[in-house]
Amino acid sequence: MTNLADLPLRPDLVGRSPYGAPQLSVPVALNVNENTHPVPPEVADDILRRVGAALTEVNRYPDREFTALREALAGYLGHGLGAESIWAANGSNEVIQHVLQAFGGPGRRVLGFPPTYSMHAIIAASTATEWVPAERDDDFRISPETAVAAIERTDPDLVFLCAPNNPTGTPVGLDTIAAAYDATDGIVFVDEAYGEFMPDDAPSALTLLPGRPRLIVSRTMSKAFAFAGARVGYLAADPAVADALRLVRLPYHLSALTQAAALGALAHAPTMLGMVDDIREQRDRMAAGIEGFGYRVWPSWTNFLLFGGVADPKGLWRALLERGVLIRDLAIPGTLRVSAGTPAETDAFLDALAAVSAAPVGVRA
Ligand SMILES: *Cc1c(COP(=O)(O)O)cnc(C)c1O
């Protein structure tokens, strides 16, 4: 047994921290924006049948082009997209890694707007792409002018926009995405991991794809689809983008079992997505409850809420954990983030918050 410091690690990785959301066994886990509803049994049965069939051929490598899955994902997304516009990988984290391997790398820069999804900067680091942070406007918004000014100042090779943004829940307007695209010759990557939780009448960045070959829109099955453990993320873009990503992916990166499971889930998309409305409802109930205790809640287009006015976030986080409720401290001063869960989990969270907000630890600023 030796220490990390004794190993000949790549110099640019020295001192870096890995992704570190605590994985604790608690009654109410509302910390990583999972869909807390389990996969419905009738869907689980069909997925099991499909995975079983795939197992009988698992001596062979899987379809390297995951053609059936790409067709199913294109069909799910709509917007006139064909299979050739889709790429998928083991979670959108791997999709992001492919994008940065192909379009970033040593000597290249990716512009981001923190506070945002922490994996964007971490994957930038692991692919030796320089992460260039720029400031947001008030209330975590990004206006077209702010995005364009940051691009002109930093001349990035890629621009990452998380829309709606994690961990703030706030949307990014299509006008900002379009303006960012026009201001750069690089890749504009829109992370729409929470796309299904947006208001029903809010347009997706997918609507911007025609005529914009450097625009990439990524999605995941981890959140709305209740499929986080299966690890399936994907993107839509010009088919040439998939040609670029083929250069960096490992051959057969999507296992036959993953492909079969994802196809099963997509075959039951309406059932799998049946909980989205309920989750949005619980999110709004949670927001009202949190505000009732005197905290401030940012408007959310996702399945989670960022709330502020917390005098001692670490203390409040710990006090909730002691009551069996795990939420997330992202070290944004005065704030904590909580995922929307089932009605019972929402009750448990609000009850715990009530208990600790009456105690000194949760004193509001
Ligand atoms: C949760 C999340 C993802 C999902 O990552 P997977 O690897 O698909 O599980 C991607 N982007 C954002 C912004 C997220 O919050």
C-beta 218 within 6 A of ligand 1: no
Q: Which of 218, 105, 80, 89 is nearest to 158 (CA)?
A: 105
DSSP 28-40: EE-SS----SPPP
Say which residue the tokens 């926009």 belong to.
161
Tokens of 324: 């069996």
Distance of alpha carbon 138 from the chain centroid: 22
Instruction: Calculate mean pLDDT across residues 310-324.
Output: 96
CATH code of 41-268, in short, is 3.40.640.10
The residue nearest atom 14 of ligand 1, judged by CA position, is: 193
Ligand 1 pocket test: pick from 32, 36, 90, 92 the residue with the most ligand atoms within 8 Å of its Cβ.
92
The per-residue pLDDT for 163 is: 98
**Ligand 1: distance of its center to the CA of 193 in Å?**
6
334 φψ region: left (φ > 0), alpha (ψ -120 to 50), beta (else): left
According to the model, what pLDDT value does residue 359 have? 57
Q: Is 166 touching ligand 1 by the criterion CB < 6 Å?
A: yes
Q: Is there an atom of ligand 1 within 6 Å of 233 CB?
A: yes
Each residue's pLDDT tens digit, 79-111: 999 999 999 999 999 999 999 999 999 999 999
pLDDT band at 23; cut points 50, 70, 90: confident
- Distances, alpha carbon 83 to alpha carbons 73, 75, 133, 272, in Å: 7, 8, 34, 21
Per-residue pLDDT tens over the stretch 185-235 = 999 999 999 999 999 999 999 999 999 999 999 999 999 999 999 999 999
This prediction's pTM: 0.95
Q: Is the beta carbon of 193 within 6 A of some atom in ligand 1? A: yes
Assigned architecture for domain 4-40+271-362: Alpha-Beta Complex (3.90)
- Give 237 Cα–ligand 1 centroid separation in angstroms: 18
Residue nearest to atom 11 of ligand 1 (CA): 193
For the chain, give the mean pLDDT.
95
Q: Of 309, 312, 294, 300, whose CA–CA distance to 340 is shortest?
A: 300
What are the domain boundaries of the chain?
4-40+271-362, 41-268
Q: Which atom of ligand 1 is nearest to the CA of 92?
A: 8
Which amino acid makes up residue 290? I
* Residue 165 confidence (pLDDT) above 50: yes
117 Cβ below 6 A of ligand 1 = yes
Main-chain phi, psi angles of 158, to 5 degrees? -140, 150
Does the structure show a pLDDT above 60 at 364?
no
